[in-house]
């Protein structure tokens, strides 16, 4: 691609990112308002919680992004899926509130997460934690950006012991991460999207989810980690492809750019064992 064409693509993606960041910040502030004033909580068929705040944020994001980019497809945790997205050149993959359980409990680890995907790869991404005011964003091949976009209502994430892996709370309780603990501290966290943003920004060393998940949980965070100089793959070490017919995943292992080699080796080994079967990851 010649330089003029590269500049045009970059300019176009700047518009996408600016539009996304603007509505994410406004929707995040709406989530905080509902957290204070009250919201309803429901239980989905899979027994996971969803709140009226999830639905309100989802509607704000969809209305704004669809109006700005009407030719793009849409995949969201809180919208009934449609095969129409599979024929669209670009698709927004969105988790309006990743970490709903944290939101319900008032733990400041929930976030808004969205990525624009083209040909199976995220090209624009943003994750916004409205409690801390942190906006993590990226355009492919242009590096990671981190800004404070709103006054924090809670202090930012911090951990004294490094290296640290941010892990799935259930997997931690079940003992699936025992082989990792001699090499790095395992700290449960309520949102895999926020965990990926923290790894991308070098506030944590790894994010681990050995099983499960969906495309909307990680699409944005994968691009952030890569643009921050780290790596993110399936536990088996395979790259991700997004906007597939079935959005369900089989786990995620993200490793930061400066993670110590001994910890990195153990993370890769743990991922391979997990991909071979649940019992072998213990």
Q: Which residues of the chain, if any, have pLDDT below 50?
A: 279-282
User: CA nearest 224: which of 192, 249, 261?
Assistant: 192
Q: Which domains does the chain have, with CATH numbers?
A: 3-148 (3.30.540.10), 164-281 (3.40.190.80)
Q: Is the pTM of this model over 0.85?
A: yes
């Amino acid at each position: 691609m010649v330089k003029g064409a590269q500049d045009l693509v970059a300019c176009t993606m700047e518009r996408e990112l600016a539009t996304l960041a603007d509505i994410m910040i406004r929707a995040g502030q709406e989530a905080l308002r509902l957290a204070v004033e009250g919201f309803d909580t429901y239980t989905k068929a899979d027994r996971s919680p969803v709140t009226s705040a999830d639905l309100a944020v989802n509607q704000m994001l969809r209305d704004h992004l669809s109006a700005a980019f009407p030719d793009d497809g849409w995949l969201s945790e809180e919208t009934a899926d449609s095969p129409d997205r599979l024929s669209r050149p670009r698709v927004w993959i969105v988790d309006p509130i990743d970490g709903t359980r944290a939101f319900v409990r008032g733990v400041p680890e929930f976030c808004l997460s969205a990525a624009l995907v083209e040909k199976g790869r995220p090209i624009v991404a943003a994750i916004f934690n409205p409690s801390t005011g942190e906006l993590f964003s990226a355009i492919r091949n242009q590096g990671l950006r981190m800004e404070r976009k709103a006054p924090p209502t809670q202090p930012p994430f911090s951990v004294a012991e490094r290296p640290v892996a941010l892990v799935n709370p259930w997997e931690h309780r079940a003992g699936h991460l025992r082989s990792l603990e001699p090499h790095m501290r395992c700290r449960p966290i309520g949102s895999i999207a926020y965990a990926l943003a923290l790894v991308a920004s070098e506030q944590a060393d790894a994010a681990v989810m050995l099983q499960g998940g969906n495309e909307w949980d990680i699409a944005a965070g994968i691009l952030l980690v890569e643009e921050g100089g780290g790596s993110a793959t399936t536990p088996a070490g395979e790259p991700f492809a997004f906007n597939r017919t079935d959005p369900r995943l089989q786990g995620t292992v993200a490793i930061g750019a400066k993670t110590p080699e001994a910890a990195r080796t153990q993370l890769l080994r743990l991922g391979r064992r997990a991909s071979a079967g649940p019992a072998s990851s213990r």
